[in-house]
Amino acid sequence: MKQVIQAGELAGISTADIKVILDTLGEELKTYSMSTKPPLMGLRIHQLLTQLTGCNDPYRKVKRESNQKALKAYPVMKRIVASAEDPLFTAVQIACGGNIIDYGAFSARSLSVSKEIEKILKIEEEVISHERPELFNFQSFCSSLDQAENLLYIGDNCGEIVFDRVLIECIADRYPNIDITFVTRGEPILNDCLAEDAEACGLGEHAEIISSGVPSPGLLLEQASEECRQLFDHADLILSKGQGNYEALSDQCGSIFFLLVSKCEVISFDIGCELGDLILKSHNQPRPMEG
């Protein structure tokens, strides 16, 4: 219900229409199993939004603005990473910061952008220093990169993907032999990124960009294209960004790292963390033997 309100406000629809969606979804809740993955309900919310607005991508303007504002911050982020004691660690922080940053706080002036990002990094440093190592597995992530020949990076929201670009470029610089693939949603869904967004934001310079074929706000493999499933099954390392992808993939096998900020009680309980914690969590489960 909270997501309906937030999504409706972001899409710019009226309070009366938000109430219609709340009522409709409330009636449909009885048909959902308690084991239903949240991205499926997110897909239903989007379907109701598109029915009311008559537009299959009611977030198009919001997504474009988020990308533009984040791109203005890109040079500042690159300078911060270049001057860091450990550029990769800082790039991971920045990518995670993209999951929480308020794009509305950005202005055209680089100074205010710089201050906003530095404030986020300072908060992250404090949070990470108080977290248990198992919640932020940076050294394990580095070890996995050392051994990987290919990386599947699963994207999340528009705007945020520019922060992902900074991390991807840092990985490409440090590990030039790793083939990187960036995965987007297959169809417009909320403010999630599409392949065209990733291309427009420059991620194609260091990564191959593919559409997952998935229409939901989380990479549900049963909805994914054959190409995406094959890449997922054969990836040496998978970096999954954001809560929606965590909800979709936390029960999957493979060498997966989830990079996100915990924003709800259910996710916090499942991970064993507090609200607002920064998470770089290893989820390394062996895949079943073929044959």
109 confidence band (pLDDT: 50, 70, 90): very low
E-strand stretches of 79-134: none
Q: Which of 13, 29, 58 is the last residue of a domain?
A: 58
Question: 124 and 72, same structural domain?
Answer: yes
Computed over every residue of the chain, the mean pLDDT equals 87
Identify whether residues 145 and 24 lie together within a single domain.
no
Do 138 and 213 fall within a single domain?
Answer: yes
The reply to whether 185 and 207 lie within a common domain is yes
**281: closest CA among 256, 264, 263, 262?**
256
The CATH number of the domain holding residue 196 is: 3.40.50.10880
Q: Is residue 205 part of a domain?
A: yes
One domain for residues 75 and 202: yes
Residues 135 and 241 in one domain: yes
Residue 15 lies in a domain: yes
Where does the pLDDT of residue 108 fall: very low under 50, low under 70, confident under 90, or very high at 90 and above? very low
Based on the domain organization, do 48 and 130 belong to the same domain? no
Asked if the structure places residue 290 within a domain, the reply is no
The residue behind tokens 């990076």 is 153
Q: What is the pLDDT of residues 211-248, one digit of tens each?
A: 999 999 999 999 999 999 999 999 999 999 999 999 99
State whether 166 and 54 are in the same domain.
Answer: no
24 and 161 belong to one structural domain: no
In a domain, 170, yes or no: yes
Q: Give the HSE-up count for residue 150: Cα atoms under 13 Å, Cβ half-sphere.
A: 11
Query: Is 255 a member of any domain?
Result: yes
Instruction: List, for residues 145-197, the tens digit of each pLDDT value.
Output: 999 999 999 999 999 999 999 999 999 999 999 999 999 999 999 889 999 99
* Domains in the chain, number: 2
- For residue 120, what pLDDT band results from cuts at 50, 70 and 90? confident
Asked if the structure places residue 251 within a domain, the reply is yes
Q: Domain end: 58, 73, 100, which one?
A: 58
The domain containing residue 237 runs over which residues? 61-285
170 and 65 fall within a common domain: yes
Is residue 101 one of the residues assigned to a domain? Answer: yes
Number of neighbours of residue 6 by Cβ within 10 angstroms: 13
Contact between 181 and 153 under an 8 Å Cβ cutoff? The reply is: yes
Same domain, 46 and 130: no
The two beta strands, 150-154 and 254-261, are unpaired
What are the residues whose beta carbons fall under 8 Å from the beta carbon of 133, sequence distance 6 or more? none
Which of 34, 58, 82 finishes a domain?
58
pLDDT, position 56: 84
User: Mean pLDDT across the stretch 254-268?
Assistant: 90
Residue 7 and residue 112 in one domain: no
Tens digit of each residue's pLDDT (9 = 90 or more) over 38-65: 888 888 888 888 888 888 888 888 889 8
Asked if residue 111 belongs to a domain, the reply is: yes
